[in-house]
Amino acid sequence: MSKRISSFALMLTLAIGIIGFSGCSGVSEEKMAELDALRSEVKALDKEVGSLKAEKAAIEREIAEKNAKLDQCAKEKAETKKNLEKLGL
């Protein structure tokens, strides 16, 4: 009787193992298509990120140039004011 139970338990374990293992046998074509679509989307988003980073860098350079011009104008204004004070105007 014990031998029958252990044989049954072994068969049951093998059956469960086969069923569980067969579920992990591969990826369906539908899943592969979904994965390819996601990869394409990631590539497109990476490209967009690169473009936006380049645009950000260009805007930051433009801001730096304008700030430099503002600083120069402030210096010239202060110098002009100082010169006018020397003249007594």
Between 13 and 72, whose confidence is greater? 72
Instruction: For the full predicted model, state whether its pTM sits above 0.75.
Output: no
Between 60 and 5, whose confidence is greater? 60
Taken as a whole, the chain contains a residue count of 89
Rounded Cα–Cα distance for residues 41 and 33 (Å): 12
Q: What angle do CA 82, 84, 89 make, to 5 degrees?
A: 135
- Read off the pLDDT of residues 44-86 as tens digits, 9 standing for 90 and up: 999 999 999 999 999 999 999 999 999 999 999 999 999 999 9
* 23 has a pLDDT exceeding 60: no
Rounded Cα–Cα distance for residues 89 and 78 (Å): 14
